[in-house]
Structures are given as structure tokens and as C-alpha cells.
Structure 1
């Protein structure tokens, strides 16, 4: 009897240890489920971005729109004969001792104002921005003031002013070559980015736009110090990758238009680096957020986005595998 009983007790003890350990794993997964899901959504962007792309990429075939702008007047400020969904408002953001005090950027901004006579314009400096957030987004104010990097405050403010007023939000280093009138027929417009998603340096939206509201609403959810590094933290919490991820998971993306190029020139409207597009001369300086511009540009040139994405993808895959294993375990019970 003793020879049989001892192994049985040891076997049961091992079962208890395994069950306890498995329970701790499940508890840990349950507690971190929000982080794992958010990481998965970020990792899924390159795979899901082009889903239903024919519906949200502006084209002559789908929208009857000339993406080269050759057939539109340089000074066309209205979408006529289409209704103007985007209000005539221009927004530029200059927080800290940035572009607002630099004559070069004042001249670049003026190029856009000159092409849009009669439009309302805002230059968002620290005091005006803080008042806006306090008055209209009080639930976001503490998070906004506590952002680790200045560019996060600028990015978040883009969404807030666009949601509150509608119109067009522009980086200070975008020199306008033509008026935005033809694009005012769309509820939301932004230029495609490389290698995926879109750029937030130029966005147009209707006032109170539902998608832009989602960008503001989800800021708190994605407000994490991703991978402990500045670049992924900015990109995944407030930047282009964040905005593109929220775009990707909208149930209907047909009204969230992206301005790209034809097959022979897909980067026609990309604002990566110092480039000239049909609408802008992008000076590509990034001097107005120079605290990390060199690092971001360097990472971008060397495809530095791949490293954080690989890590996030691994987390997302782990989330998927563990979720399936958890489901099977529950079925066995």
C-alpha cells in the first residue's frame, strides 16, 4: 500500500502546483487583457490597413476626383458643385518656443493663409491650447498636460481642435501650393503615408466628425510608454500609427478618405521628408519639435519602425495563441 500511495500523493501535488500556476497565468492574462488587445490592434495595422481600400482611397473611378489636381484651379476654395462638408478654418499648432516666433515658419504659414482669403485661422500657442483643453476637453486635461514628450501634446491637440472646430490642421513646415477647396466635399481627408497608414501632418474634417471624436476618445486608452522608447511611444499613443489604427478599426471607412497617388506613383501625396506634392512643398524640417526630430527621422530612414512593430506583433500573436489555449482549457473543464 505504501509503495502505491506515495507516488499518488506526489502526482496530486504536481497537479495542484500546475493548477495554481495555470490559474496565475490566467489571472495575469485577464488583468493585462486590455494591453494585449491594444498591442494586437497596433500590430495588425500593416495587415488590415488596405482592407476595403477601394472604398476609402480617393480615386477618379470611385469618386470622380482628379488626385493630380491638374483639373482644379489653384485658387479654388470651395468644392462647388458639391457641398462643402469641411468648414473654412485653418489650424496651425506651435507649442513652446517654436515656430510662432520664427520668421521662416511665419512665411510658410502665410502661404496657406494667402490661398484661403476669408477663411478663419487659428495659431494654437500654449495659452490658447491650454484654454481649449480645459474648457472643452476637461476629462483629457491632466493626461494632456502630463504627456512625456511635447510632440504628444501637439498630436493630441490636432484631434481636439479638428473635432471642436472642423477645418484643416497643418504642420508648420507645409508650404501651400494651392487651395484645399476640391477636398472639402469629403468628411475626412488625410494623405497616405509610407509604408502604411496616413500622415497626421495634414488633415481635413467636418466639425464634430465621429471618427475624429474617436481619436480624442481613445487617447487615454493608448497612453502608455510603449517599449520604454520615445519613437514607439509617440507613434503608438498619439502619432500616425495610432490614428491609422483607429481608422482601421472603424466599422465603415468609406467616408474616411485617404489621398494617395496612382499605381505608377503611389507616393504622390506622401509627406515623408523634404518633398513636393501637388498640394504642398514639405520642407521636412521638424524643427518645431526638435527635441527628438533627429531620432525620428533617423529611425524612419532606416526602417526603424520595424523593430517596435515586430515586438508588438509578437505580443499580439502571443495574445491570440494564449486566448485559444484558454478557450480549449475551459472546454476541457
Structure 2
């Protein structure tokens, strides 16, 4: 007598359950739309950054600017004969038991003051910073005070003081080798970072600059604990990645100049680690980097590791799904 093969049962979702599940999915997506969009903008930076880069990367061809600074006087504090769009103001920030407590950093700061005689200078400490945020950004004060990492307060303050006063914001570990006058002809300038974006350790901008205002305005929106790790939380909420993302999604980036290198030396103005550029000696403290920084840097340097991780997760998901389906058929 032959074996009778019964057809496998096909499990179909109940129409009501399917409808409810679909509705809940769309509701969840709607509630999380801001998080999803912000996450997408941050993830898209490496691809979005170089769109129309010829319009915002400083160059001799497009801007008539000498990237080596060899043709400018070391003591040139003005952009003359061009208009000075950036006011003569220097900002340094030292919160908590920071750089102001170390004579070495104060000496480095003094070098910048000496080479910019007559410029107004601010050293933002806990007391002056708290008063400034309370008086000029009361709507952001609670968030600013609740940042889990001190560097977030420093980063956010950079944008606030730069928008309010204009001028130049410098990290305490940047030693000026020459005056920044030639760059004052531009509305905004910051050095290029690698592999994408720009560094916020040095920025200069006109007073009430629209882009810098957008950096301030978006602080609350991007204020999240990203996977509960210090490095991505800082970078994505207030740091270089955050600022570069806002830059990348501006409608007109032509006035937001990025100080890049030449074809022969594309990292000429990069401030990664202890380096010497045409305008700075970067002593490279970077003391805020935490235990997870090495992992993030490794992921950024090697595209193979992220691909392997994502591929591994996809294969595991496929195997589990196939196994469950096979078990259901056998039970049927």
C-alpha cells in the first residue's frame, strides 16, 4: 500500500491580525520618523559630503586663495584688500578642570593672542559659560547642563558663542603659527577632516552666521544617547559628525568654506592627531575619547569589517528563518 502524502498546511495570518499588525507598524514608523530621518542623515554623511565639493572646498582656482599661506604675511590680521567678514574675536573654551588649569595650554593660547594684537579675546570658563547660556539661550540651558559628557557642553558652546559674537573658535591645544587674517574674507571656514566632514576644533564665522545658527538650532533635535557609547553619542549629537551633517544638508554650501589640502598634500590642513599645518601646531590632546573610540575608528578605516558584520547578521537571520519554516512544515 502506497504512502499517502498529505499536503503541508499553509499558515495564513488572520485578516484582522494582519490589519492590526500593519497599522501598528505604520504607527511605530510614524512615531519614530524623526529618529529614522536623523539617523539616515548621519549615516548618509560619507556619501552626501562630497556633493558639489568644488563649490565649498577652498582652492586657488575657484577662490584665488593660497592654501599654503606662503604668499601671506605671518602677521596679516586682516583680509585686505578684501572685506573682513569675520570679526576680530578669539574664543577659547575651558570648562571643568580643563585646559585653564594647565600652564602649558595657557601658554599655547597666549601664542595665538600675541599674533593677533588688538583682537577681542574670550576665555570661556564654567562661570562665564553658564551666565552666557542662561542669558542668551535660556531655552537650551537645561539640555546644555544635562549633557552626560563635558565635551558635549564644550562643543555646543562653540556654536553658541560663534553665532552670537562671530570670530574664531580655537581648541586650547592649537598653537597659532601665523595670523588668520587672510581667511577673514569668507563667511565661514573650518579645516577638512578625513574621511569626510570638517573639524570643529577650529572654526571662524561672521556674526549671526546662518549656518552656525542652524548648528545651534539643531542641537536639541540630535540630542540622543546613541547606542549608549560615549564616542558616537558625542560625535552624533554635538561633535564633528553632527556639524558636518548639518553642513552637508544645507541648500547652498558655496559660502561655507572648508580648508582642504592640495593634490600633492591632501591632508595639509587636517588636525587629526599631533600635526603641524601651515597655520597651526596641533598638540593633539583629544582626551575625551573613550574606550569605544578605537572600535569606531577601526570600522571607519576598514570597509571590510562592517560588510562582514552586516553579512553575518543577514546570513544568521536567513538560517534561523529557514529552520523555523522547515520545522513548521514537518509538524504539519
The match for 2:4 is: none
Structure 2, unaligned runs of 5 or more: 1-10, 311-332
Q: Normalising by structure 2, report the TM-score.
A: 0.86
Change in Cα spacing, 1:146 to 1:305, as seen in structure 2 (3 Å) is: farther
Tell me how far 1:151 sits from its aligned partner: 0.3
CA–CA distance in structure 2, aligned partners of residues 281 and 82 of structure 1: 27
CA–CA distance in structure 1, aligned partners of residues 292 and 186 of structure 2: 31
Q: How does 1:177-256 map to 2 (within 5 A)?
A: 177-256=177-256
Establish whether residue 50 from structure 1 lines up as the match of residue 50 from structure 2: yes
Q: How does 1:96-245 map to 2 (within 5 A)?
A: 96-245=96-245
Tell me how far 1:293 sits from its aligned partner: 2.9
The answer (yes or no) to whether the contact 1:299–1:305 under 8 Å persists in 2 is no
Tell me how far 1:300 sits from its aligned partner: 6.2
The match for 2:283 is: 283
Tell me how far 1:302 sits from its aligned partner: 3.1
CA–CA distance in structure 2, aligned partners of residues 61 and 98 of structure 1: 41
Tell me how far 1:294 sits from its aligned partner: 5.1
CA–CA distance in structure 2, aligned partners of residues 254 and 131 of structure 1: 35
SS of structure 1 residue aligned to 2:14: helix
Count of aligned residue pairs for this structure pair = 297
The match for 1:78 is: 78
The match for 1:298 is: 294
The answer (yes or no) to whether the contact 1:186–1:255 under 8 Å persists in 2 is yes
The answer (yes or no) to whether the contact 2:190–2:198 under 8 Å persists in 1 is yes
Establish whether residue 24 from structure 1 lines up as the match of residue 20 from structure 2: no
SS of structure 2 residue aligned to 1:97: coil
Change in Cα spacing, 1:166 to 1:83, as seen in structure 2 (3 Å) is: same
The answer (yes or no) to whether the contact 2:93–2:123 under 8 Å persists in 1 is yes
The match for 1:39 is: 39
Q: Return the structure number with greater helix share.
A: 1
Tell me how far 1:132 sits from its aligned partner: 0.5
CA–CA distance in structure 1, aligned partners of residues 71 and 44 of structure 2: 37
Q: Deviations over 1:201-227 (max 9, x none)?
A: 000000000000000000000000011
Structure 1, unaligned runs of 5 or more: 1-9, 315-333
CA–CA distance in structure 2, aligned partners of residues 300 and 108 of structure 1: 30
The answer (yes or no) to whether the contact 2:273–2:284 under 8 Å persists in 1 is yes
Tell me how far 1:295 sits from its aligned partner: 3.5
CA–CA distance in structure 2, aligned partners of residues 58 and 104 of structure 1: 32
CA–CA distance in structure 2, aligned partners of residues 305 and 127 of structure 1: 40
CA–CA distance in structure 1, aligned partners of residues 228 and 263 of structure 2: 38
Tell me how far 1:306 sits from its aligned partner: 7.3
Change in Cα spacing, 1:88 to 1:239, as seen in structure 2 (3 Å) is: same
Runs of 4+ in 1 over 4 A off after TM superposition: 303-307
SS of structure 2 residue aligned to 1:226: coil
Change in Cα spacing, 1:195 to 1:149, as seen in structure 2 (3 Å) is: same
SS of structure 1 residue aligned to 2:83: coil
Q: Normalising by structure 1, report the TM-score.
A: 0.86
The match for 1:88 is: 88
Q: Which has the larger radius of gyration?
A: 2
